[in-house]
């Protein structure tokens, strides 16, 4: 049997490496590169999502602030409306009194007109009597 030299051992291991191990490492590296690309795509996708979420969060806080301002303005408007209602109630009461007074005055005017008419008739009647006596 021939003695195995270091060169023979190196050549055999190099051939084994070239035929079996190197192709597997190449496939593994290729898969790792694919995974790296996919992972990079995912990271970019997450970056876009986070950017959109940041924008949405900013818009959310803007909307909340706007709603808060609107609620405060609405509270002021409601306060003003309450004051206006109280004022209108007072005006309604005064108007009711004025209408009542007007109705009373209209009745009195009608009564006075009737009395004046009656007095006018009496005066005319008296004048006729006086003319007949003279």
* CA atoms of 109 and 115, how far apart (whole Å): 10
Q: What is the mean pLDDT of residues 70-98?
A: 96
Encoded tokens for 47: 């970056």
Residue 71 has what pLDDT? Answer: 98
Residue 131 has what pLDDT? Answer: 87
Average pLDDT for the chain: 94
**Dihedral, 81, 85, 87, 89 alpha carbons, nearest 10:** 180
- Residue with the bigger pLDDT between 130 and 36: it is 36
Q: What is the mean pLDDT of residues 15-21?
A: 91
């Amino acid at each position: 049997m021939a003695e195995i030299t270091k060169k023979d051992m190196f050549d055999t291991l190099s051939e084994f490496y070239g035929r079996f191990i190197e192709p597997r490492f190449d496939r593994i590296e290729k898969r790792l590169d694919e995974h790296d690309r996919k992972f990079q795509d995912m990271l970019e996708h997450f970056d876009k999502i986070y950017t959109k979420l940041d924008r949405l969060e900013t818009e959310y806080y803007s909307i909340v602030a706007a709603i808060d301002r609107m609620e405060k303005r609405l509270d002021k408007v409601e306060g003003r409306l309450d004051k206006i209602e109280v004022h209108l109630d007072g005006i309604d009461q005064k108007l009711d009194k004025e209408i009542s007074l007007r109705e009373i005055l209209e009745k009195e005017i009608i009564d006075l007109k009737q009395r004046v008419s009656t007095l006018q008739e009496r005066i005319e009647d008296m004048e006729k009597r006086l003319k007949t006596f003279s």
